[in-house]
C-alpha cells in the first residue's frame, strides 16, 4: 500500500478528483481518501512517484507520507 500526503483537499469534489487522478495511473487501484488527515492510501500497481505526479497534475500537491 502506498500512502501519500495530499494538500488542498476539502470536500467530496476533491475526493473525486484525486480518485480519478489515481485511476489514470492504475484503473484497478483501491483508493481511500481521508480529508481529515490529508492522506490518500492506494492499493494497486502504480508507483508513489507516478501517483503523486498524477494527483499534483489534478491540482493537489502530493508527496509520499512521512516526508
Q: How many C-alpha atoms does 3 have within 13 Å on its Cβ side?
A: 7
Residue 43 has a pLDDT of 97
**Euclidean distance between CA atoms 2 and 31, whole angstroms:** 10
Residue 66 has a pLDDT of 72
Tens digit of pLDDT for each residue in 15-51? 999 999 999 999 999 999 999 999 999 999 999 999 9
pLDDT band at 67 (very low <50, low <70, confident <90, very high): low
- The H or E element spanning position 56 is helix 48-57
Domain boundaries, the chain: 2-64
Q: Point out which residues pair with 3 in neighbouring strands.
A: 41
Q: Is the pLDDT of residue 65 over 60?
A: yes
Give the burial class of 13: count Cβ atoms within 10 A of its Cβ; 0-12 exposed, 13-18 middle, 19 or more buried: exposed
C-alpha cell at 63: 508527496
Residue 4 has a pLDDT of 97
CATH number for the region 2-64 comes to: 3.30.70.100
Amino acid at each position: 500500500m502506498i500512502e501519500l500526503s495530499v494538500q488542498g483537499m476539502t470536500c467530496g469534489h476533491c475526493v473525486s478528483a484525486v480518485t480519478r487522478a489515481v485511476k489514470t495511473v492504475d484503473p484497478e487501484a483501491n483508493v481511500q481518501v481521508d480529508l481529515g488527515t490529508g492522506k490518500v492510501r492506494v492499493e494497486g500497481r502504480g508507483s508513489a512517484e507516478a501517483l503523486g505526479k498524477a494527483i499534483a497534475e489534478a491540482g493537489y500537491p502530493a508527496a509520499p507520507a512521512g516526508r
